[in-house]
Amino acid sequence: MLARPTLNILLAEDNPVNQKMALIVLKKLGLEADTARNGREVLVALEEHHYDLVLMDIQMPEMDGIEATKIIRKRWSQGPKIIVVTSFEAEMCRDLCYDAGADDYLNKPVKIDELGAAIERNLGSIGLQTVADAQALFV
C-alpha cells in the first residue's frame, strides 16, 4: 500500500468553534492543519513554513481573507492553493474571492465530501479517505 503524501495545510479561521469543527472534518479526511486566526497570522505562518493549501475564511479581524489572499499572490506567485471557506453566498463575494487570487470557493457549512472534492480538485488525487470511510468514523 502506498503512503499518502503529506499535505501541509493552514486553516485561517477566527471563530474557535468553526476552527475546531474544520479540524475535525480534516481529521476525518485523514488530514491535519496548522491554524491562524486572521490574515496577518496567515502571512507570518507562510513566512515560516511551506504550505500546500490554505483554507481561508473571509471575515476575520485585523486582516480579512480577501486582503490576505491578494498579498499571498503578490509575495508567493507560485504559492499555496487557496480555498475560500465562507458563509457569504453572493455571486459578488465569489467573484471578489477569485479576483483576489483564490483557487476555489466553498460555502459554510462545509460538507465533508465537498471539502474532500475541493482539495483533490486543487491538489490532484492525493488518496484522501473516501467519504464512506470518513462517515464511518461518525458511528
Structural domains of the chain, count: 1
pTM for the model: 0.86
pLDDT in tens, 69-79: 999 999 998 88
Dist. CA 54–CA 98, nearest whole Å: 14
Dist. CA 26–CA 119, nearest whole Å: 10
Query: Domain span at residue 41?
Result: 9-136
Dist. CA 22–CA 2, nearest whole Å: 26
Domain membership of residue 4 (yes or no) is no
Q: Which three cell numbers stand for residue 29?
A: 479526511
Domain membership of residue 46 (yes or no) is yes
- Residue 29, domain CATH: 3.40.50.2300
Buried b (16+ CB within 10 A) or exposed e, 116-135: bebbeeebeebebbebeebe
Domain membership of residue 97 (yes or no) is yes
Amino acid found at 91: E
Domain membership of residue 36 (yes or no) is yes
Angle at 11 between CA 6 and CA 16, to 5 degrees: 135
pLDDT in tens, 81-121: 999 998 887 777 888 999 999 999 998 888 999 999 999 99
